Amino acid sequence: MKNPKIKSEEIARIAGVSRSTVSRVINNYSNVPAETRDKVMKVIQDYNYFPVMSAQVLAGKRMRTIGLFLIEPGNVSSDSLTNMLLVSVIENASEHGYYILANIIRDTKNKDTIRSVKEIFMQKRIDGGIFIGAAINEPLIEELIAEGFVVGVVDQNQEYPQSNRIVANFNNDSGMKQALAYLVDLGHTKIGVINGDMNRLSGQTKYEGFKKAMHLHNLPVKPDWVLPGDFHDRSGYDAIQTLLHIPTDLPTAIIAANDSVAFGAIRALKEHGLQVPEDISVIGFDDHVLSDMHHPALTTIRVDFNDMLKHLTTDVIAKIELGTTNIKEITMDCSLVVRDSCKRI
């Protein structure tokens, strides 16, 4: 370790100014003449000086880091979405000069977990947090918000609007409407749905959107064709198993709460000798990375997580910096992507 870390005092001495002035040039105060600034900057660069962050923070600066909390009960590893989210958040934060402290939460109800998440905020390790994967009501998040910390949450709404809570969602209503309009246009009237996790806002809004859209087209929502699911492949598979074992006629088209569910559903259909889209049409939601390569290529509702996270990150940082008290709610559009999994009838 060749570096005993030069500190601002020495920079000041060498540049022939006071620590105050060194601090002023570092913090870009306007009242420092160019000449002085240049002189000090030269010394700073020559000595490769960087202010110690903890000293800056203790003296009143921000950490410039935001905590990213990925709520993932199961194995995160398999989900390549998480990865994209992370990259998106990191790079956007970075553009604002912010850093990301990445965390995984396995269980939001776990005592130790709750304590350690709160600790991160209370210790002032971070200036704010972003939660991904939250259920509709997460006491942990509510507590944090009540404490006044700024938090961004994907997939929640402003039930009790608070200015330090920023929510981000997709317009699932519109997405479902598009999906349905497309199917109806193809001649479908017998349409089923495999739901997502109803503990998540998007699970609910997608189903609500489905019902509304069906109503719009004067189509009945047949209870036998409303299958439970949880956003995972397996639940799509199971839903089809269920559907095929009840004495009912089959829908001609199925809307899945997301593409993973659609994959599972198609797998189950194939196993029962039903071809997609020849025998039954399937439409997904989210536009998963693999949907394009899937056989058949999956028709779906595209959603731009990247862009959403970008907005959320930016807004969280803005809230931290500006402390504005307006209520922030981000809603992103989604759009139909037609591929090969639906057929005209």
Dist CA 207 CA 229 (whole Å) = 11
Query: What is the full DSSP assignment across 211-264?
Result: HHHHHHTT----GGGEE---SSHHHHHHHHHHHHHSSSPPPSEEEESSHHHHHH
DSSP code at position 54: H
Burial tier of 318 (Cβ tally within 10 Å: 0-12, 13-18, 19+):
middle
Is residue 257 within 8 Å of residue 194, measured between CB atoms? yes
Angle at which helices 19-26 and 8-15 cross, to 10°: 100
Q: Considering Cα of 22, then 26, then 29, then 32, what sign does the dihedral take? A: positive
CB of 20 or CB of 78, closer to a copy of itself: 78
Shortest Cβ distance from residue 82 to a copy of itself (Å)? 6
Shortest Cβ distance from residue 10 to a copy of itself (Å)? 15
Q: How far is CA 68 from CA 90, 116, 151, 318, in A?
A: 9, 14, 10, 16
CB of 18 or CB of 80, closer to a copy of itself: 80
Instruction: Please name the helix (run of DSSP H) or strand (run of DSSP E) that holds residue 83, with its range, or none.
Output: helix 80-95
DSSP code at position 189: -
26 is a contact residue toward a copy of itself (CB under 8 A): no
Dist CA 311 CA 33 (whole Å) = 37
99 is a contact residue toward a copy of itself (CB under 8 A): yes
Strand partners, 65: 99
327 is a contact residue toward a copy of itself (CB under 8 A): no
Segment lying near a copy of itself (by CB under 8 A), choices 27-35, 118-126, 191-199, 233-241: 118-126
Dist CA 202 CA 209 (whole Å) = 10
Shortest Cβ distance from residue 53 to a copy of itself (Å)? 4
297 is a contact residue toward a copy of itself (CB under 8 A): no
Dist CA 264 CA 238 (whole Å) = 8
CB of 8 or CB of 235, closer to DNA: 8
65 is a contact residue toward a copy of itself (CB under 8 A): yes
Which does residue 31 bind out of a copy of itself, DNA, none, counting CB within 5 to 8 angstroms by kind?
DNA
Residues 216-275 that bind a copy of itself (CB under 8 A): none
CB of 19 or CB of 234, closer to DNA: 19
Shortest Cβ distance from residue 13 to DNA (Å)? 11
Strand partners, 286: 302
Shortest Cβ distance from residue 23 to DNA (Å)? 3
Shortest Cβ distance from residue 226 to a copy of itself (Å)? 30
- Binding residues for DNA (CB under 7 A): 5, 7-9, 17-24, 26-27, 31-33, 36, 49, 51-52, 55-56, 58-61
Which does residue 86 bind out of a copy of itself, DNA, none, counting CB within 5 to 8 angstroms by kind?
a copy of itself
Binding mask 32-51 for a copy of itself (x = CB under 8 A): ----------------x-xx
Q: Which residues contact a copy of itself by CB under 8 A?
A: 1-3, 5, 48, 50-55, 57-58, 63, 65, 68, 76-80, 82-84, 86-87, 90-91, 94, 99-104, 118-120, 122-125, 146-148, 164, 289
